[in-house]
Amino acid sequence: MNNPQLDKHGELQHLLTTEGLPAKILLNILDRASAFMGSADGGEIKKIPLLHGKSIFNIFFENSTRTRTTFEIAAKRLSADVVNLNVSSSSASKGETLLDTVDNLCAMHADMFVVRHSSSGAAHFIAKHVAPEVHVINAGDGRHAHPTQALLDMFTIRHYKKEFHNLRVAIIGDILHSRVARSQIHALTTLGVPEVRVIAPKTLLPTMVEHLGVQVHHNMEQGLKEVDVILMLRLQNERMQGAALPSAQEYFKYYGLTKEKLALAKADAIVMHPGPMNRGVEIDSAVADGAQSVILPQVTFGIAVRMAVMSILAGK
Amino acid sequence: MMNIHIKNGRLIDPKNKIDALQDVFIVARKIAAIGIAPSSFMADKIIDASGLIVMPGLIDLAARLREPGYEYMATLESEMQAVVAGGVTSLACPPDTDPPLDEPGLVEMLKHRARSLNQCRVFPIGALTYGLKGAELTEMVELTDAGCKAFSQADAPLIDTRVLMRAMQYAATFGYSVWLRPQDSFLAKNGVAHDGEVATRLGLPAIPVVAETTALATILQLARATGVTLHICRLSSAVGVEMLRAAKREGLPVTCDVDINHLHLTEMDIGYFDANCHLVPPLRSLRDKDGLRAGLLDGTIDAVCSNHSPVDDDAKQLPFAEAEAGATGIELLLPLVLKWAEQAKIPLLDVLSRVTINPAKILGQKMGHLTVGAHADLCVFDPKASWKVAPGALKSQGKNTPFNGYEMQGRVRYTLLDGQVVFQY
């Protein structure tokens, strides 16, 4: 089976998932993002005319503020024309099929689609149906993938830790329902991180998760030992209703990241979170706002990484 | 009424254990003789079956014709063309039409429509509960009088185990058989793929094997308690096969089928979200597929069915989980059974019982064989002819199948129903 993300020359055609992408392509995106960040650490990203005249459609079938905004900023910094479509409030509710929506947008001469959808595989589905010159970026599909989030996480890790091959990384929280976790796991293992751990109660872990190349921990104290990077996941409120967890309080007690638990990790460990955070559920404010937190830089890096992905897909 | 002489063919009749070059003589819609022509036989039609295999017409235990209610997916007319092209002469249709087959009038209408088309014998399976809602029993005696051959919930859940037990008791009172696909609806809730490596990787809501096995354990216990004749539909897991094996060993009156998809495919075939692999039950692991094959070989699983479920294109052109489950299949039943025979190196005489005499027994019908005096329902096929599965190569209105692009070996050349040629290629 051909990888639907790559064209016949092995170049990136769509960004749908981090799974199956060679390290070379992932690193190329990170390098490009570094170039956009400018020389100064955390410096301002200048507007550049790389995608002048290109139309980028943000199609969000599922609500999002942060991801959509950072994609919009990234596209505008590249001088592209950006159209934001909140499809959940328009065509879909009028009975238009997903394919009709996509066909219509193609007819408006879109060059690139940034898609978020609640169904796993939606981005693959759209990529399969668009014209060959149109590129698709997956901004999150169901529980499947959120590759730009994972890439900005990799960028953040490289920024603070320089290398991947000597790291211990722990992903903590609702792995079962998380597209972010899946994309992080594939990116980390591809980039050569020797030890990726997942920490969660059994109700929040998918079957055979160890086949993705991770170590499974149910106990925070053991899982956090000697860890260099901590990736927290957002715990959705609806998990409290489906018998996955008894209460937010109990979850916080055993799996919430507090200063005491953070002390078990390496002294220079960094703490990341894809946002939006549930303070007092998965993470304590003292940690979220503490010295080891790099949660806000993640957001800034996210713009550069999304600029990198867009410019590479456009062949610029 | 024509006298037909099928000559020079290799006759395979699993029930009578015949696999030999023998001619078949049909007089007055019945098998008149095998081997030597009856005295004063004059053929009106001679079918030269040189190089071909002559067998009893196939019997499919699960083929959805989509009438009434889902005519946009398929009609009796469209699907009968597929049925005869598949060499199928008898089929059982599940009750999950719209409305479901829960009233004698609906069953009579379906029987009447099928009879007027005269392409295949249609055996409706009645709904076990009204509207398949799992709450009230249907009028099973009335439905049987109208033509139902068994009672089933199709894929609809029956959550209330007391209703299930009552349904079994009532069916057992009259000697009716109950057909059930084991699935716990809570454990399967919202699931679209096997709970294993692939669903984990793709982030697809999953259905664990225990959804099948816990339901199967309940069903087997209730069958033991009620003495009902039980048929287990579309088994999908290796553990399920093992449970069935134990139940049969113990002497429980239970039979079982598997469909062609699960005999050949696994969760891996989903690939990059191929919606054609969105099936009910879900495609499971390689270990499960091997278990199903072993069960079919040792007789734990009695029959192979197509689980023919034509779906219209629009309903499949969606992301995996949102796409309608189901695949067309009746035209692939014979070639996929042949493929299994070839891969597992099993003689055809053995293999073909799974689509002839075994399903006939499950349906309680004296058919599926070519004994002198039997209805002349036959399938004549070319075992060497290969063809490629493609939408244009299928007669069914449903064109979606996970086997799209596969090379098939074995093509039906003639289908005879009641001594009449209903299909010729």
User: pLDDT tens-digit profile of A28-44?
Assistant: 999 999 999 874 345 56
Mark A126-149 as b/e (b = at least 16 C-beta within 10 Å). bbeebeeebbbbbbbbbbbbbbbb
pLDDT at A39: 44
Global pTM reads 0.95
Contact B200 A207 (CB under 8 A): yes
Q: Which of A122, A142, A208 sits opposite B200 (nearest CB)?
A: A208
CB contacts of B197 in chain A (<8 Å) are 207-208, 211
Contact B319 A212 (CB under 8 A): no
**Which residues is A283 bridged to in the sheet?**
A257, A279
Contact B200 A209 (CB under 8 A): yes
pLDDT level of residue A64 (50, 70, 90 thresholds): confident
pLDDT at A1: 55
Distance from B269 to chain A by nearest Cα, in Å? 10
Contact B320 A120 (CB under 8 A): yes
Place of tokens 């075992």: B383
> Which of A59, A98, A125, A179 would you mutate first to test chain B, the one with the most B CBs within 10 A?
A125
CB contacts of B201 in chain A (<8 Å) are 19, 182, 211-212
Contact A208 B319 (CB under 8 A): no
pLDDT at B303: 98
> Is there a cis peptide before residue A276, judged by omega within 30 degrees of 0?
yes
Query: Any CB–CB contact under 8 A between B43 and chain A?
Result: no
Which residues 73-102 of B are in CB contact (within 8 Å) with A? Answer: none
Contact A120 B203 (CB under 8 A): yes
Q: What is the mean pLDDT of residues A176-200?
A: 98
Give CA–CA dist B270/B56, Å, rounded.
35
| Mean confidence (pLDDT) of chain A | 92
Tokens of B5: 């002489």
> Which of B320, B324, B404 would you mutate first to test chain A, the one with the most A CBs within 10 A?
B320
Read off the pLDDT of residues B264-303 as tens digits, 9 standing for 90 and up. Answer: 999 999 999 999 999 999 999 999 999 999 999 999 999 9
Q: What are the residues of chain A with a beta carbon less than 8 Å away from any beta carbon of chain B?
A: 1, 4, 19, 97-99, 117, 119-122, 124-125, 141-145, 179, 182, 206-209, 211-212
Q: Is the pLDDT of residue A257 over 60?
A: yes
CB contacts of A4 in chain B (<8 Å) are 272
Half-sphere exposure of A19 (CA within 13 A, CB side): 23
pLDDT at A94: 64
pLDDT at A189: 98
Distance from B358 to chain A by nearest Cα, in Å? 37
Closest CA to B255 of B366, B357, B353, B361: B361
Contact B205 A99 (CB under 8 A): no
Contact B321 A209 (CB under 8 A): no
Instruction: Kindly state the percentage of chain B with pLDDT values over 70.
Output: 100
Q: What is the mean pLDDT of residues A82-95?
A: 73
CB contacts of B195 in chain A (<8 Å) are 207
Contact B273 A124 (CB under 8 A): yes
CB contacts of A1 in chain B (<8 Å) are 271-272
Distance from B239 to chain A by nearest Cα, in Å? 17
**Which residues is B164 bridged to in the sheet?**
none
A·B CB contacts under 8 A: 76
Residue length, chain B? 425
> Can you list the residues of chain B whose pLDDT is less than 70?
none
CB contacts of A144 in chain B (<8 Å) are 202-204
Give CA–CA dist A132/B34, Å, rounded.
61
CB contacts of A20 in chain B (<8 Å) are none
DSSP string, chain A: ---TTB-TTS-BS-B--STT--HHHHHHHHHHHHHHH-SSTTPPPPP--TTTT-EEEEEESS--SHHHHHHHHHHHHTT-EEEEEEGGGTGGGGT--HHHHHHHHHHTT-SEEEEEESSTTHHHHHHHHS-TT-EEEEEEETTTB-HHHHHHHHHHHHHHHS-STT-EEEEES--TT-HHHHHHHHHHHHTT-SEEEEE--GGGS-TTGGGGS-EEES-HHHHTTT-SEEEE----GGGGTTTS-S-HHHHHHHHSB-HHHHTTS-TT-EEE--S---BTTTB-HHHHTSTTB-HHHHHHHHHHHHHHHHHHHTT-
Cα dist. A164→A27, A180, A196, A228, A233 in Å?
Answer: 11, 19, 11, 10, 20
Q: Note whether B271 and A1 are within 8 A (CB).
A: yes
